[in-house]
Structures are given as C-alpha cells and as structure tokens.
Amino acid sequence: MERLDAESQAVSVSTTSLVSTLLDEGLKTRQFPDVVYRPGPTGRRATLVGGPDVWEVIRDLRQWPGKGMARIDSLAKELELPVSLVQVAADFYCTFPEEIDARIKADEQAAEQIRHRIEQRETLLSH
C-alpha cells in the first residue's frame, strides 16, 4: 500500500485511479505479452516490445498499400519489425480500438496545431 500511495502521489492521481489503470494495463499485457505500457509526454501508451508505439504502427498500416498479409509483410519490412509484431499491433487494435484511435486522433490534432503555428509564423515574418 505504501508503494501505491507513493506512486499515486508521484503521478498526481488517486490511489483508486492508479490501481484501475494498472489493472487495466496488466490485463491487456497479459492478453498481449508483446505489448507493454510506457510513459511519455502525452501519458502512458501501448508500445510493442522492442518497437514503436502500437498507434504508430496502426496509423501506418491504415495508409499502407496492399491487402491482407502482403500488406502486413510489406509494412513490417519497411519498419524493420518482425511480421509477428505488426500482427500483434493489428490484433491489439482490433481488441482495443478506442484506445488506439484516441492516440491517433491526439497525434493528428498536435500535428494540426504545429502546422497552424508555422503558418502564423510565416505570415508574421512575411510582413
């Protein structure tokens, strides 16, 4: 309990919220052992063991040409990942789409804010 209390204070959440998060992540990683949760600037996110975030793989997979396993094989080669990890990312997404879709949406919003800021700066500098 002391470790839980200390961790909940360190991350500024209630102990109940922390336990809920840890339980959720633990159950997901138990189902998908090649997925781990890592902290980052935008919070904890599902990451492939030894690889990129799951949302990054899914974002790329959505845009990648081809169909079926040839699509997964081709993306795996491009990302220099084992095919099995790209499959794990796809399976994780199919099981928890809301989590991954939220990460993709957040990335798209951040990119849009950066584009807008650049446009504003260019306008300022052009006068």
pTM of the model: 0.83
Per-residue pLDDT of 111-126, as tens digits, reads 888 899 999 999 999 8
pLDDT for res 86: 97
Closest CA to 45 of 108, 83, 111, 102: 102
Instruction: Give the count of alpha carbons within 13 A of 36, CB side only.
Output: 8
Per-residue pLDDT of 86-112, as tens digits, reads 999 999 999 999 999 999 998 888 888
